[in-house]
Chains A and B, each alone.
Chain A
Amino acid sequence: MKRAGPILLGLIVALALLSLVWTPFDVTTIDVAHRLQSASIRHWLGTDQLGRDLLSMLMAGARPSLGVAALALMVGVAGGVPLGLLAAARPGWIDELVARCTDILFAFPAILLALLVIAVLGPGASHAALAIGLFNIPVFARVTRASARGVWTRDFILAARLAAKGPGLISFEHVLPNIAGPLITQAGLQLSLGVLAETALSFLGLGAQPPAASWGRMVADAQTLVGVAPSLVLLPGLAIVVTVTAINLTGEVLRTRVAPETGL
């Protein structure tokens, strides 16, 4: 049971990677003659309203979802963790500044600001990743700061200061390894939120642009056909749910592996 999450996520990632080199059918080729077919030997999951193979679309659609979420996570970690460590190491005005900036960013509804970013930069997968990543920064800054402050009060930090280690080295050597647990938990959460945010942006047509496949746009394009071919909406929806669940389970397994003592 514990292995289910990582295995599932591994499978989804493998299918996404496989779609880079091979899909059963080309997802950019329209074949109107064979549109809206139900499942068959030739098309395992049937075809959509433009005659594209649904299985191929789902495989290729995993790419922007996972890729954008992962990129956004990296932006968040790279920006938020150093900020949080800095704030914890330097109580005073720097700490205050970081705390207030994160508060201000939190005050905006995330999706609205993402829309604003995309309105300025233009739609596309990489811009979506940047917009979502921008929101991960205050999340990680806050979690890092709160956990790191707890570590800074421990006696072993005094021992490190006696060895003339500076705040940077202490943050890297002592603080970071000891806050790995909450950071991994948060990373899992932000990754699954990232998948959801990407599908939401694609649904609105602001994510990966056609002809690239994406789960969010598959749902959006098929919404008028729900009555005729419900699987066109249900299958990408199911893919989103399964992916998010797999990420959450994997995050939990990773946390107990890396930081067993910080049990939730």
Chain B
Amino acid sequence: MIPLQIDHLSVRYGETVALDDVCLTVGAGEIVALVGPSGSGKSTLAAAAMDLLPVEAIEQGVVRIDGADIRTLPEKQLEALRGGRVGIVFQEPATAINPALTIGKQIGEVLELHSDLSRAEIAAEVNRLLGEVGLSLPANRYPHTLSGGQRQRVAIAMAIAARPPLLLADEPTASLDPVAQAEIGGLLQALVRGRGMGLLLVTHDLGLARRIADRIVALDHGRLSEQQPIEPDTAPRKPREGGEPLLVMDHVTRIYPLKRGHVVALSDLSLSLGCGETLAVIGASGSGKSTLARLALGLDRPDAGRIALGSQDWATAHGAGLRAMRRRVQAVFQDPAASFDPRQTVARIVAEPLHLLGRIARAERDARVAEALGQVGLAPDAADRLPQAFSGGQRQRIAIARALILKPELILFDEALSALDPALREEIIALLLRLQAELGLTYLFIAHDMDLVRRMADRVLVLREGRAIACGPVAQVFDRPDDPYLAALLASAE
């Protein structure tokens, strides 16, 4: 039996064509990666495979799961199909798992619904499944005591519990840190091979697709193509020498007090970033990257050590001096949806840093906003709209315009490209490189993505548990990792 067979499937919503004559087969033991930009129809295809399309969708074609045409099945059997014959793994394990139930109870629930095992048999099977997904945890643990990677393993155990012939994974690694991403990728691959399941992997992470998939199919405007998607330009950039030091951190330590004890977020960290240079800071979640960002931006104070912009120190600056320092550094944040006040127009958002200049005339403000929008390739009429009216890529352009409006020297990017799909990311990378060349900007990248680091950064700093474990030119650090953790981090990206 073929786990998934889609024949000439077309789906329309009114006049909009979501899928156009799509044929796709996922064989037993095969991993097919489905890639494509946002809005290309990936989610529609996944929903169609489970007959979960909204009622207004107009559907043509045949979807067979394990040989059965799902549209001829009565609702009762469809329910058995979802979770029974199709296992599903979602992007965000935190929302897929019920926080009020132990992990064993949740995995057991799937077995209760889709098998006729006795209680004792279910308990034994739950423990076996936990082992199979690589969790050596007791079944009575609650989800909130687990890490993101561990939770995703629980979600996978739930998905495979009923021994489905087909597994559907929707961005299963997108919310995880690089090491956990690599582990989950490897786990999915091992499970598919071991159990002879078919896996349809919906993702926009080409790296993951290349690593574990047998075939990659690309969706674009509802049309499917078997050929390899466009290779991003991965040529590493030539490292350049930075000019005068712009950002200097000197033996910086930051400790956060907790109710009981404390946590050392950064420990004795030193770095120097020259004018016109790009430094990338990488590390798993919790390694101190965000603390470093807040300190560099002067939003937080170190417990020990010194942080300076040029000759000015964040700790001693106040009044007009502090405002002058703030003008030199701006930031672009990770989530384009959260980094704008949803009640303000683009003009007000982009103009926000102008507050540092004191009162300025409306005409000058508007001219500056138009100039900044122009620099990032947005039309001036974008100014009057709300940020919600823009796509993810355009929103990130708005965020960059806000960072540019004061003509700062240093811009910090906090995971600023990780929410974008590959095509948009290429556009934004090109934009950032052009702006750097034109305006002589210095970039500090907080990043997850090794590929991005190779292409954008001159030097890289690797953080682990608040300490720098490697620092130097990208090629030198990446090609000869002398630390096992760094080697694992890099292997996860290969």
Interface residues of A (CB under 8 A from B): 154-156, 158-165, 173-174, 177-178, 261
Question: Which chain A positions have C-beta within 8 A of B331?
Answer: 158-159, 162
Specify which of A161, A163, A177 is in contact with B341 (CB 8 Å cutoff). Answer: A177
Given contacts A162-B331, A163-B326, A178-B343, contact A154 B352 (CB under 8 A): no
0/1 string, B353-383, CB within 8 A of A gives 1: 1111000000000000000000000000000
Given contacts A155-B333, A177-B343, contact A163 B353 (CB under 8 A): yes
Question: Which chain A positions have C-beta within 8 A of B355?
Answer: 163-165
Interface residues of B (CB under 8 A from A): 297, 299, 322-323, 326, 329-331, 333-335, 338-344, 349, 352-356, 402
In angstroms, Cα B335 to Cα A160, docked, is: 16
Q: Number of A-B pairs whose CB atoms are under 8 Å? A: 54
Say whether B342 contacts A162, CB under 8 Å: no
Say whether A159 contacts B352, CB under 8 Å: yes
Q: Which residue of B lies closest to A178 (CB)?
A: B343
Task: Add 11 more A-B contacts to A155-B334, A163-B355, A178-B342 (CB < 8 A).
Answer: A155-B338, A158-B339, A159-B331, A159-B333, A159-B339, A162-B330, A162-B353, A163-B326, A164-B355, A165-B352, A173-B341
Question: Which chain B positions have C-beta within 8 A of A163?
Answer: 326, 352-356
**What is the minimal beta-carbon distance from A88 to any residue of chain B, in angstroms?**
16
Say whether B335 contacts A155, CB under 8 Å: yes
Question: Which chain A positions have C-beta within 8 A of B344?
Answer: 174
Given contacts A155-B334, A158-B299, A159-B331, contact A164 B341 (CB under 8 A): no
Question: Which chain A positions have C-beta within 8 A of B333?
Answer: 155, 158-159
**What is the minimal beta-carbon distance from A255 to any residue of chain B, in angstroms?**
14
**What is the minimal beta-carbon distance from A175 to any residue of chain B, in angstroms?**
9
In angstroms, Cα B340 to Cα A154, docked, is: 9
Ranked nearest first, the 5 interchain pairs of A and B with the lowest CB-CB distance are A155-B339, A155-B333, A177-B343, A163-B355, A155-B338
Question: Which chain B positions have C-beta within 8 A of A156?
Answer: 338-341, 349
Say whether B297 contacts A162, CB under 8 Å: yes
Q: Which residue of B lies closest to A160 (CB)?
A: B352
In angstroms, Cα B349 to Cα A180, docked, is: 19
Q: Which residue of B lies closest to A261 (CB)?
A: B342
Question: Which chain B positions have C-beta within 8 A of A154?
Answer: 338-339
Question: Which chain B positions have C-beta within 8 A of A173?
Answer: 341
Question: Which chain A positions have C-beta within 8 A of B330?
Answer: 162
